[in-house]
Amino acid sequence: MSLALYGHPFSSYTQKVLVALYENATPFEFRCLGPDTPEHTAEWLRRWPLRKFPLLLDGERQLVETSVIIEYLQLAHPGPVRLLPADALAALDVRFLDRFFDLHVMDAVQLAVDSALKRAPTTSAEGRALAGERLERSYAWLEGHLAGKAWGAGADFTLADCAAAPSLFYADWTHPIADRYPLLRAYRARLLARPSFARAVEEARPFRPLFPLGAPDRD
Ligand SMILES: N[C@@H](CCC(=O)N[C@@H](CS)C(=O)NCC(=O)O)C(=O)O
């Protein structure tokens, strides 16, 4: 069955799935949710009225929630890069880190972004300050966690890194990762150099003016 992904190149959660697809050179059609292709938006909303993207279509099977989508890709379209380890306990560590990046990094970024867009009950300044406090706690924990690791969960690139790449990318734009976190800064740089994520970042570059907090002139 052919795969189709509904999403947007600048969206962090779309990028999380794009990284998984690019890692294994999995063929798929990208259906961009934008003003030029209203038919994709209509189909996405028909299929997922909860209005969250990305959404993956595999024939008539549809999947939402990026962690589930990537688990599905590992099961139904596996490639040379195993995104979930075969060992069940090692896979649990990977799932934990995936949750960490979504809940303790990306959610904080989202709070700052939503506040800036007036989609949250906090002012832009309050949202950014709260996000900064949360991100500081996450950065400190990650700095300790990353000691001795090449990738988020150890020696291999996994689902955890698919989640880490866009979340740390945008987190650093929201609340810069300070010099006191050298391992975390180096990990973010390694993620940016990984061809799968480098490609996603390039494809999203034209949309940088959309970042409501102002995109810095780097990366
Ligand atoms: N937990 C969801 C989060 C998806 C999500 O929040 N996607 C954002 C785009 S990056 C979205 O749909 N935003 C639209 C909105 O919240 O209205 C997942 O992992 O797929």
What ligand 1 atom has the least distance to the C-alpha of 7? Answer: 9
Ligand 1 centroid from CA 148, angstroms: 32
What ligand 1 atom has the least distance to the C-alpha of 54? Answer: 20
Query: Which of 75, 68, 58 shows the shortest CA–CA distance to 3?
Result: 58
What ligand 1 atom has the least distance to the C-alpha of 12? Answer: 10
Query: Which of 184, 214, 209, 204 shows the shortest CA–CA distance to 113?
Result: 214
Q: In the numeric block, which tokens belong to residue 194?
A: 């990984």
13 CB within 6 A, ligand 1 = yes
Give the per-residue pLDDT at 94.
98
Q: What is the pTM of this model?
A: 0.98
- The SS3 assignment for 9 reads coil
Q: What is the pLDDT along the chain (219 residues), one digit of tens a residue?
A: 699 999 999 999 999 999 999 999 999 999 999 999 999 999 999 999 999 999 999 999 999 999 999 999 999 999 999 999 999 999 999 999 999 999 999 999 999 999 999 999 999 999 999 999 999 999 999 999 999 999 999 999 999 999 999 999 999 999 999 999 999 999 999 999 999 999 999 999 999 999 999 999 999
Residue 4's φ and ψ, nearest 5 degrees, are -135, 135
Q: In the numeric block, which tokens belong to residue 14?
A: 């779309």
How buried is 50 (Cβ within 10 angstroms: 0-12 exposed, 13-18 middle, 19+ buried)?
Answer: exposed
Give the per-residue pLDDT at 1.
61
119 CB within 6 A, ligand 1 = no
**Pairing state of beta strands 55-58 and 3-7?**
antiparallel
50 CB within 6 A, ligand 1 = no
Tell me which residue has its CA closest to atom 16 in ligand 1: 52
Tell me which residue has its CA closest to atom 14 in ligand 1: 52
Tell me which residue has its CA closest to atom 11 in ligand 1: 52
